[in-house]
Amino acid sequence: MTKICIYGAGAIGGYMAACLDRAGAEVSLIARGPHLAAIREKGLRLIKDGQQSEHRLRATDNPAELGEQDYIILALKAHGIPHIIDQMKPLLGADTAIVSAVNGLPWWYFYHANTGTVLDNQPLQSVDPGGRIYGEIGAERAIGCVVYPACEIAEPGVIQHMDGERFSLGEPSGEASERVKTLSQLLIAGGLKAPQKKRIRDEIWVKLWGNCSFNPVSALTGASLDEIGNDPACRHLVHSIMAECQQIGEAIGVRFNVSIEDRIDGAARIIGHKPSTRQDIEAGRPLEIDPLVTAVLELADRLGIKAPTLAHIAALLKLQARTLGLYGR
């Protein structure tokens, strides 16, 4: 039986755990606080399409209790990963794969990227200070993952699925592999969509395109996606950020298969939704700025590409977050 540890059993991690349990994997959870207590007492419960399922899974706040795993799915915010490196090590066997189910540019991004730039096989300092994840955990363990579902914790131990079922997977090298195939099959068996992508980085950037533009504007204004997309001045601002982001991405070989206007229109059709960064502000949670914005600016700086609009919006967002006590760097 395939052993899978979900490190960070929040909304997305809990959703994946329930689906993988349904598929027959041996699933364990790393959680904390009231959420952990509720899972231990009543099991993890998933509400989807009006139906509730219960999943009795091993849950702990001490990874050392779980032993070596076949897969570790990191489903916590990217800024939290450097702080769990030592705790994660007891879960690692010789062939343990690590799936980063996080937003933004991941810590492994330039492993086998073959961009022909100075960035190849180098860690991203914005999300992996000092390259500790890259070096101590090992970029060779990484499997790329782009997360599309929207879920929330309805109450401790209860995951409410809102929308979406797709988790795209891919090796950093672009090759087909048995470990990606196995995980994809398990996710599909659990009722999800899990396409195996040869160019997983392209998909990372198309999602990042929206994250690095709509997220800061929403965080600063409180506006929803449709309000931003239908406001001429804000739409122009988002377009400018996306154009800078596209230039940076294309400099490292990314292919954008949709136009900026179509990408904005797609977001603007989502009525009333506020991106995660704004949701975090309203909930008083630390903001996910570095993988969505700072990492893109790090690439621009190292490649000698100007990104003034993104730099200005990043400065405003970071000052806002520091003022609110939600960003420490």
Residues labelled as active-site residues: 207
3-state SS, residue 20: helix
Annotate 117-138 with b (16+ C-beta within 10 A) or e (fewer).
eebeebbbebbbeeeebbeebe
* Distance in angstroms between the alpha carbons of the first and the last residue of the chain: 42
Q: Check if the beta carbon of residue 264 is closer than 8 Å to that of residue 235.
A: yes
Phi and psi torsions of 158, nearest 5°? -125, 120
3-state SS, residue 69: strand
Q: Which residues pair with 161 in a beta bridge?
A: 151
3-state SS, residue 30: strand
CA-derived radius of gyration, the chain: 19
Per the rule left: phi > 0, alpha: psi between -120 and 50, beta: everything else, 89 is alpha
CA distances from 149 to 13, 111, 129, 163, 212 (A): 11, 26, 29, 5, 18
Q: What is the identity of the amino acid at 69?
A: Q
Q: Which helix (DSSP H) or strand (DSSP E) does residue 162 occupy?
A: strand 158-163
Tokens linked to 31: 């959680």
Tokens linked to 86: 């030592």
Of the candidates 326, 292, 311, the residue with the CA atom closest to the CA atom of residue 106 = 292
Task: Tell me the torsion sign for CA atoms 53, 56, 152, 205.
Answer: negative
Burial class (CB in 10 A: 0-12, 13-18, 19+), 83: exposed
Q: DSSP character for 199?
A: T
